[in-house]
Every structure is written in structure tokens, then in C-alpha cells.
Chains A and B, each alone.
Chain A
Amino acid sequence: MKTVIFRTIAPVLVAIMVVFSVFVLLRGHNEPGGGFIGGLIAASAVALYGIAVGVEEVRKALRVDPLAIAGFGVLLSSLSGLVSIAYQVPFLTGLWTIFHFENTEIAVSSPMFFDIGVYFAVLGTLAAVALALEEDEDQK
């Protein structure tokens, strides 16, 4: 698969996919989208890059182990549930604050961080699986 055309176009495609995955993640609260589907898109970007340039390159580009990303996701999700201990409400209660910046309202909430955690968990797990499968292809 390491053709010149694919290798040239892959970084652009991967960049677009990653940006799109973040877009899908952030619009997920009230509209179709969310952490799971965003993470899937990001993981397919990683897999695509692996097909184009080889697994070693991807691991170098990611800098951290994919499973560590998954661990970070689970950690972020659990912590976003634990925040509510300070507000005397049960585990995983949605907490909201709204920042005003110029004319825009920026809503920051614990469900959002939970969703970001899901995003990283899905991205990490599926990237690890995809890279493990692609690694075997490379060795042949």
C-alpha cells in the first residue's frame, strides 16, 4: 500500500479526519455525534496512517503508547464523575458552568469531560488493536 500517491495524500487526509473527529465529539452533546463516534473516526485516521507509512512511523508520531491514551480516557471519565463529590450530589451528576467570552457563551460541563474521556478510551483501544494487526502485515 505504500504508493507515492497514497503516502502523499495520507497526512492531509489524516489531519482532516482528526479535526472532523474533534468536531463530531464536541457537537455530540445535543446533536448526533459524541465521544464514541469521534473516537472511532480518530482511530480510523490512525489506522489509515499506519497503512500509508507503516506502523513504526505511526508509533513515533503518536509519541505515547495507544493503550496509555485509552487509560487516560478512562481516568478522565471517572474523574469527571467524581467531581460531584464536592457539590453534595451523587456520582456522575451533570455539573455546568457557563463562561462569557466577548459575545459567546462557552458552556463547560462534566458530561463534556466524560465524553472527551470516552473519545480517548475508544481512540486508544482501537488504535492499539489496529496497529497490532497492521504490525503483522508489515512483518510478512
Chain B
Amino acid sequence: MIEFALSALIGLFFAVSIYLILSKAIIRMLLGITILGNGVNLLIFTLGRITREVPPIVPDGLLQPATTTANPLPQALILTAIVIGFALFTFLLVLGYRAYQELDADNTDNMRLAEPENAPRPPLSY
């Protein structure tokens, strides 16, 4: 039954994150991306089948686990995804902060340096 609760929670995470990513403020988009990452981690966790079992560790003196154990792979995947997501989050955070300082903009509408707003008309010759 816990799967239903977790699915609802994942849906909520996705909804919140999409709402935040659609915002114009960089810091909100950043929060949205982080929540999306957490939603995905929860998704992988749920998809790996939730069982109330013991950790997948083979006891001393045995060659295979004594009872059914939890699936270790989703946890490994999630840990990797958390590490990578965390690294990218810190990078984007520093980037956003620098942009706030140097461009004086937290609003993506004001960030038009790379793509000027009043771009020149295409050349008419030839």
C-alpha cells in the first residue's frame, strides 16, 4: 500500500518542481530542479520494489543471504544520482550567484547578453 502513498508524493514533487521551473527567477528554477531530482530519486526507489526486508548483507559463515533481502541496486543508483545532482546543483548555485552579482539579474527576462533583445535585422544584401 505504501506504493500508492509514494506515487502520490512523487506526483506532488513533480508538480511542485514543474511549477518552480516555469518561474522566471533563477533561484526558484534552481529549487525546482532540486525537487525534481529528489522526486526522481524517490521514483527509482519505488520502482525498485519496496519490501520490508533486511539489508542485503551475507552473514558471516554463509555464502548467500539467509532470508529475502532488499534490492540493493536502486539504492546504488539513487546514491549516484544524488551525488551527481548535488554536484550540478552546487555548480548552478555558484553560477546563479555570480550572475546575480555581475549581471544584477535574478530574472531570466533581463538576461539578454548572449542573445540581445533587439537583434539586428538580417542583412539584406545578396
- Taking a contact as CB atoms under 8 Å apart, the answer to whether B94 and A132 are in contact is yes
User: Is A129 in contact with B90, judged by CB distance below 8 angstroms?
Assistant: yes
Contacts of A82 in B (CB 8 A): none
Does B83 make an interface contact (CB < 8 A)?
Answer: yes
**CB interface residues, A 39-75, toward B, < 8 Å:** none
Give the bracket for the number of chain A residues in contact with chain B: under 10
Would you call the interface of chain A mostly helix, strand, loop, or mixed?
helix
Q: Determine if A136 and B87 form an interchain contact, defined as CB atoms under 8 angstroms apart.
A: no
The count of residues in chain B whose C-beta lies closer than 8 Å to any C-beta of chain A is: 10
Q: Is the interface of B mostly helix, strand, loop or mixed?
A: helix
Interface centre among B79, B83, B101 (most CB of A within 10 A): B83
Instruction: Give Cα A125 to B93, complex, Å.
Output: 14
In the complex, the answer to whether A136 meets B90 with C-beta atoms within 8 Å is no
User: Considering the chains assembled together, what is the distance between the CA atoms of A131 and B115 in angstroms?
Assistant: 31
A36 at the interface (CB under 8 A from B): yes
**Residues in B lying within 8 Å of A, measured CB to CB:** 57, 79, 83, 87, 90-91, 93-94, 97, 101
10 CB-based A-B contacts, threshold 8 Å:
A30-B57, A36-B79, A125-B87, A125-B90, A126-B90, A129-B91, A129-B93, A129-B94, A133-B94, A136-B101
Closest 10 CB pairs of A and B: A129-B90, A129-B94, A132-B94, A36-B83, A133-B94, A133-B97, A125-B87, A136-B101, A126-B90, A136-B97
